[in-house]
Amino acid sequence: MHEEPSAPARTTAPHPTSCPAPPPAGHSATTTERGSFCLARCTCGWVGPARRSRDRARADAAEHLAAS
Ligand SMILES: [Zn+2]
């Protein structure tokens, strides 16, 4: 009986090296400008109150990072 060669089996690589590692659990706060306001936001989803000055927003971010 004639057997057709099956498709080459896929080599199962353990893990692609191009896959980026997940970001380390933690917080990374930045300040964003919204109109004439500035507010702090974090990678964890936290968003600070809108401030009129960027320094205040930055202080909020620092406070959040310190509290976490
Ligand atoms: Zn955070």
Domain-embedded: residue 49: yes
pLDDT at position 3: 76
Q: DSSP letters along 11-66, please?
A: P--SS-TTSPPPPPSS--EEEEEETTEEEEEETTS-BPPPBSSHHHHHHHHHHHHH
The structural domain count of the chain equals 1
Q: What tokens were used for 27?
A: 């917080």
Question: Nearest 5°: phi and psi at 60?
Answer: -60, -45
What domain range includes position 57?
A: 29-67
Domain-embedded: residue 17: no
In the block, tokens 């590692």 appear at 21
Q: What tokens were used for 42?
A: 């974090």
Distance 65 CA to ligand 1 centre (A): 6
Domain-embedded: residue 51: yes
Distance 6 CA to ligand 1 centre (A): 52
Domain-embedded: residue 42: yes
pLDDT at position 19: 61
Q: What tokens were used for 68?
A: 């976490």
- pLDDT < 50: residue spans in the chain: none
User: What's this model's pTM, rounded to 2 decimal places?
Assistant: 0.61
Domain-embedded: residue 14: no
Domain-embedded: residue 52: yes
Distance 47 CA to ligand 1 centre (A): 8
Tens of pLDDT, residue by residue over 24-36, are 568 999 999 999 9
pLDDT at position 5: 75
Domain-embedded: residue 24: no
